[in-house]
Chain A
Amino acid sequence: DTGVSQNPRHKITKRGQNVTFRCDPISEHNRLYWYRQTLGQGPEFLTYFQNEAQLEKSRLLSDRFSAERPKGSFSTLEIQRTEQGDSAMYLCASRSDRGFYNEQFFGPGTRLTVL
């Protein structure tokens, strides 16, 4: 068990470009969550998957954001036409239904900087 991994760890892009992040959850974890953390704030929920089904999306997730989990394993988060306000740390977490009481395991995050 190697933990939750996220790639890339850092991404610098220019405003208007598209970016995609990847999250590999702990194997056999069927639930996967994306959170966004801006400077000086706590993480905020973005979206949530149970297997390949996206069950909830936050109002924070504008139509420029899309997330997928095509085979119920890894997930991608894409931001189209990036804006400076998208600069943040994007965190991924996973958990198992068989695990303890909603214990979510977090990856190291992808830090996005939009110039």
Chain B
Amino acid sequence: AQSVTQLGSHVSVSEGALVLLRCNYSSSVPPYLFWYVQYPNQGLQLLLKYTTGATLVKGINGFEAEFKKSETSFHLTKPSAHMSDAAEYFCAVSGATGTASKLTFGTGTRLQVTL
């Protein structure tokens, strides 16, 4: 069984400030971890993923995340927020293959960026 907890349904930051979106997971198999972004009335776009290897992963638009197995966390960060980063962000976990490949999502964090 897998689950994801995203702490904070809404996060507000000033433009240029650090963005930190929290994600904790639970998985009975070695996890694959993902962050997706969703803009209004659109589908999901993959920001970054962790599968194996390096625990610090870099994604698109300047985002990065660090897999910490001991803390079962996969927090998303960006050093400097832009107005265009305002969106809904979802953390997801899956297994590797077969029926374990379905994604289990958190409830999302809405990021607001203010001037």
Which residues of A are at the interface with B, using a C-beta cutoff of 8 A?
4, 31, 33, 35, 40-45, 48, 55-56, 91, 93, 95, 100-109, 111
User: CA separation between A91 and B106, bound complex, in Å?
Assistant: 16
Interface string of B75-103 (1 = CB under 8 A from A): 00000000000000010101011110111
Q: List 20 interface pairs A-B (beta carbons < 8 Å), by A numbering.
A: A31-B101, A33-B102, A35-B103, A41-B108, A42-B4, A42-B105, A42-B106, A43-B103, A44-B105, A48-B99, A48-B101, A93-B103, A101-B52, A102-B32, A102-B94, A102-B96, A103-B46, A104-B46, A106-B45, A108-B43
CB interface residues, B 21-68, toward A, < 8 Å: 32, 36, 41-46, 49, 51-52
User: CA separation between A105 and B103, bound complex, in Å?
Assistant: 12
Cβ of B42: which chain A residues have Cβ within 8 Å of it? Answer: 108-109
Seed contacts A33-B102, A101-B49, A104-B46; 20 additional CB < 8 Å A-B pairs: A33-B103, A40-B9, A41-B108, A42-B4, A42-B90, A42-B92, A42-B105, A42-B107, A43-B105, A91-B43, A91-B44, A93-B44, A95-B101, A100-B51, A102-B32, A102-B97, A106-B43, A106-B44, A109-B42, A109-B43
User: CA separation between A95 and B49, bound complex, in Å?
Assistant: 14
Cβ of B41: which chain A residues have Cβ within 8 Å of it? Answer: 111
> Whose C-beta in chain A lies nearest to the C-beta of B4?
A42
> Whose C-beta in chain B lies nearest to the C-beta of A109?
B43
Which residues of B are at the interface with A, using a C-beta cutoff of 8 A?
4, 9, 32, 36, 41-46, 49, 51-52, 90, 92, 94, 96-99, 101-108
A5–chain B nearest beta-carbon distance, Å: 10
> Whose C-beta in chain A lies nearest to the C-beta of B44?
A106
B24–chain A nearest beta-carbon distance, Å: 14
Contact of A43 among B44, B52, B94 (CB under 8 A): B44
**B99 and A56: CB pair below 8 A?**
yes
**A102 and B106: CB pair below 8 A?**
no
B111–chain A nearest beta-carbon distance, Å: 15
Most buried by A among B99, B103, B108: B103
